[in-house]
Structure 1
């Protein structure tokens, strides 16, 4: 009896469900958020916001093109200084060249060679321009000269070729080479256009031009005696 009753109870009790091992259980994946959600925006805005933030961060960290941007800020003053130095250098070279040319041409008057050739003002100008080197091409059209006899070396004022209108004029200029032992005063003016701003304002004298001026005085030799 007891044996059959125990078997009957075992048949009536339901079997306990089988427990799966932990490795066989399905895992639920949590959604990953790469950035804070945009409050008040739709799903598409929430999805695009992290990419915009990422691009902004990359832009702030990117150092490419920094040299070009920095040069853009200093390009204008750099080129201004460069052209100003070049133009001032040309003016100094022209001034020295003109002084040498006038001194060498004046020797023709001092030694009597200009008297023997009956030199005119245009010929004297050509002699000066022939000694101007690389500046000879426009020298004949620009150069003004004045040659005159003065009574003494001291207390003499060279003529001024600038008229009342602020223009260069030859109306008051002379060309007199004198004779033996005369004191001669030679003046030459060469207008040079200026192009660099501020330099032209500080150095110009006649209509945007810098007038280079050279003056020399000497006593003629006793030629012909």
Structure 2
């Protein structure tokens, strides 16, 4: 038969023993610290990529505005190459989307084609006459013409990139983030040949 005093002495000795406390404290703090540092790294790379994408979009739009034809390939391919070079591998080009629309003036950006509102309901209905500004044969809520435009056209470059993240730590929290850049620019008065 064991005496209760002996158990109490052991329990007191274990309570006073602080060996291993540092390991336990580290175990409790390590995971939140790793997550915080990973989140900060992810956020820093996200902001860097967004800034590079803005700068690359501007440079690509400047090139597109010149009307220059590259020695090899098309203007569209050159615009993609400029963005690829200026984002230093942080943007996967197979996921990058570049949309361009040409307008006759800055005022017409994101404006619908005009139409005769026969039933006065404030919206275009099939059968109502309309002004086909972009020449595609149908009424459009945005009168821009897809493409890089002609001399002195206004071209809006919309660049979109779904950010996949680099660590995957933040994926369950933030899901999908789309980086985007929009650059309106007037084409130079070049001659198309």
CA contact (8 A) 1:191 1:211 kept: yes
Q: Deviations over 1:83-120 (max 9, x none)?
A: 21111111111100111111111111112224887725
CA distance in 1, matches of 2:60, 2:86: 8
Distance (whole Å) between structure 1 residues aligned to residue 68 and residue 11 of structure 2: 83
Calculate the TM-score normalised by the size of structure 2: 0.68
Pair 1:200–1:65, CA change in 2 (3 A): same
- Residue of 40, 47, 60 corresponding to 1:85: 40
Of 60-69 and 174-183, the range deviating more from structure 2: 174-183
Gaps of 5+ in 1: 1-41, 159-173, 203-207
RMSD (Å) for aligned C-alpha atoms: 3.0
Structure 1 partner of 2:12: 57
Greater shift after overlay, 81-90 or 127-136?
A: 127-136
Residues 1:150 and 2:103 aligned together? yes
Shift of 1:56: 1.8
Distance 1:216 1:132, change over 3 A: same
Is residue 200–residue 209 contact of structure 1 (8 Å, CA) maintained in 2?
Answer: no
Greater CA deviation, 142-151 or 90-99? 142-151
Map of 1:20 onto structure 2: none
Distance 2:47 2:163 in 1: 11
Q: Is the 8 A contact 1:109 1:115 kept in 2?
A: no
Q: TM-score, normalised by structure 1?
A: 0.59
Which residue of 190, 196, 199 corresponds with 2:169? 196
How far is the alpha carbon of 1:50 from its aligned partner?
5.0
**Counterpart position of 1:105:** 60
Q: Which has the higher contact order (CA 8 A, sep 6+)?
A: 2
C-alpha deviation, 1:218, in angstroms: 1.0
The question of whether the paired residues in 2 share the 8 Å contact of 1:191 and 1:209 is answered with yes
The equivalent of 1:68 in structure 2 is 23
- Unpaired runs of 5+ residues, structure 2, are 112-144
Residue of structure 2 equivalent to 1:211: 178
Matched length: 158
- Given the alignment, which residue of 177, 188, 191 partners 1:221? 188
1:22-60 Cα shifts (integer Å, max 9, x gaps): xxxxxxxxxxxxxxxxxxxx3xx24xx555433222211
Aligned mates of 2:109, 2:61 — CA distance in 1:
18
**Highest CA radius of gyration, 1 or 2?**
1
